Amino acid sequence: MTGNKEKKDFVFKITVIGDGGVGKTSLIKKYTQGSFQKQYIKTLGAQFSKYDEKVEGNMVKLFFWDIAGQAEFSFMRPTFYKGSKAAIIVFSHALGEEKSFSNITEWHEDIKKYCGNIPIILFGNKIDLIDIEKLDNGKAEEIVDQRKFLGYYKTSAKTGTGVYEAFQAIIQELHNKFKDQ
């Protein structure tokens, strides 16, 4: 067998960041467990979920680090970011939660400071709460281009819309980046 055909195991730490209440925990649960919990439970500090997946015949262990978005936990973040291979920045499309979009740049600068230029993807969550026909993607796509993110995905942790595709985009990117190393 040649080195490229050899089956390998991969371990990827993916940090999930964004303002408190945007649905980070719910998105991870939807992807890893297929479930959705209606009531909001604030993440204290960070929590992580382990998930195993096969990608092109290789076993991939994913550790999703769900970092609390509230300011009172900011002092802990540098420790939680350590060793991240990629990040997901989540904001909310829900009315009244527009500030979460404004903070994307801040979240990106924060993770970049401690992890360098790792692959980052943007999730616009809670699309089930808006009229998708009236959604203007221009600003999100502009941030993706300016900041060189991998992409922007419209998601709903409640309905599952876009969740699988969004997580797969970052997982495939990591697998492709590390498979020949």
- pLDDT for the residue numbered 42: 65
Torsion of CA 56, 58, 61, 62, to 10 degrees: -20
- Residue 6, pLDDT score: 60
Domains of the chain: residue spans and CATH: 9-137+154-160 (3.40.50.300)
Q: What is the DSSP letter of 148?
A: T
What pLDDT does 1 receive? 39
As a whole number of angstroms, the distance between CA 52 and CA 118 comes to 21
- Local mean pLDDT, 10-residue blocks, the chain (181 residues): 63 96 94 79 77 93 90 85 97 95 96 96 97 92 97 97 97 92 79
Report the distance separating Cα 120 and Cα 104, nearest Å: 11
pLDDT at 39: 65
Nearest to 127 by CA among 98, 161, 97, 164: 161
Determine the pLDDT at residue 2.
44
The predicted model scores a pTM of 0.91
Q: Choose among 89, 168, 95: nearest CA to 135.
A: 95
